[in-house]
């Protein structure tokens, strides 16, 4: 029995490793504008569930990105409290949009492609965090404002474009429909982030 369990566990790890390698390779290709990267993402619901491991991959980058903001003087006064709220908002925002996207894709007529879309979306989140983190480094390195601001604009623009490009390819949607999904994602994330500021504001008033 123990041998069988061990064998299944090892096989599961190998499968997860293959899927992570495939997903990382696919999103890397998409990041640099190669549409064939979309082939890495299948419509397998099991693979989609396992692709949520990307949230664990992105979490350290998420934390480092916030520390970069705080190092640059853009952080809140009560850092531990703010960090706790951000860590709470992180999974809510990630899982929340995955659920919100179900009726959205149904409205767009591509509901059957939800597993493929979420797999690709999960990996695009990782790539977006990497892009935003790297393009924030000039601020920490005290680069001239024109360099820091240009780098930040490039990072945000590239990240938004990547999500739009990935969405359009994996769902075979027209540009405007893909843009709608990106806009809902950005709006939902912004709303969750704004909610985390409410306790801090009420504390400062008191």
The 3-class secondary structure across 144-200, one letter per residue, is: CHHHHHHHHHHHHHHHHHHHHHHHHHHHCCCHHHHHHHHHHHHHHHHHHHHHHHHHH
Q: Which residue has the tokens 């892009």?
A: 131
Summarize the confidence of residues 96-113 as an average pLDDT. 97
Summarize the confidence of residues 7-21 as an average pLDDT. 81
Summarize the confidence of residues 181-193 as an average pLDDT. 94
Q: Which tokens go with 165?
A: 């490009």
pLDDT for the residue numbered 23: 96
Q: Which tokens go with 164?
A: 């739009």
Average pLDDT, the chain: 88
pLDDT for the residue numbered 201: 47
According to DSSP, residue 75 is labeled S
Identify which has the larger pLDDT, 194 or 3: 194
> CA-CA distance, 37 to 40, in Å (whole number)?
6
3-class secondary-structure state, position 41: coil
> CA-CA distance, 9 to 15, in Å (whole number)?
10
pLDDT for the residue numbered 125: 97
Query: Would you say the C-alpha torsion 35, 39, 40, 43 has a positive or negative sign?
Result: positive
C-alpha closest to that of 26 among 35, 13, 17: 35
Q: What's the pLDDT tens digit per position in 43-60?
A: 999 999 999 999 999 999
pLDDT grade, residue 67 (50/70/90)?
Answer: confident
Residue 194 has pLDDT above 80, yes or no: yes
- Which helix (H) or strand (E) segment holds residue 57: the answer is helix 54-71
Between the alpha carbon of residue 166 and those of residues 78, 84, 181, 185, the distances in Å are: 37, 31, 11, 13
Q: What's the pLDDT tens digit per position in 144-182?
A: 999 999 999 999 999 999 999 999 999 999 999 999 999
Q: What's the pLDDT tens digit per position in 76-88?
A: 555 667 778 888 8
pLDDT grade, residue 70 (50/70/90)?
Answer: low
- Calculate the dihedral angle through the C-alpha atoms of 141, 145, 148, 150, rounding to the nearest 10 degrees: -160
pLDDT for the residue numbered 14: 83
Summarize the confidence of residues 98-114 as an average pLDDT. 97
pLDDT for the residue numbered 79: 60
Least confident of 97-101, 124-128, 130-134, 193-197: 193-197
Summarize the confidence of residues 27-45 as an average pLDDT. 97
> CA-CA distance, 163 to 125, in Å (whole number)?
8
């Amino acid at each position: 029995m123990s041998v069988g369990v061990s064998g299944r566990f090892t096989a599961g790890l190998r499968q997860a490793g293959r899927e992570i390698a495939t997903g990382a390779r696919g999103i890397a290709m998409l990041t640099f504008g190669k549409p064939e990267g979309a082939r890495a993402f299948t419509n397998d619901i099991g693979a989609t569930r396992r692709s949520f491991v990307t949230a664990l991959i992105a979490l350290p980058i998420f934390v480092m990105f916030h520390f970069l903001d705080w190092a640059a003087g853009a952080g809140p006064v009560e850092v531990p409290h703010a960090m706790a709220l951000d860590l709470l908002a992180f999974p809510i925002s990630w899982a929340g949009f995955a659920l919100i996207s179900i009726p959205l894709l149904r409205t767009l007529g591509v509901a059957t492609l939800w597993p493929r879309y979420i797999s690709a979306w999960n990996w695009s989140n990782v790539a977006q965090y990497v892009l935003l983190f790297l393009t924030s480094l000039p601020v920490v390195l005290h680069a001239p404002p024109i360099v820091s601001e240009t780098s930040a604009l490039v990072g945000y623009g590239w990240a938004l474009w990547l999500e739009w490009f990935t969405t359009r390819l994996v769902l075979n949607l027209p540009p405007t429909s893909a843009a709608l999904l990106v806009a809902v994602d950005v709006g939902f994330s912004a709303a969750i982030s704004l909610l985390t500021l409410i306790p801090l504001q009420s504390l400062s008033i008191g």
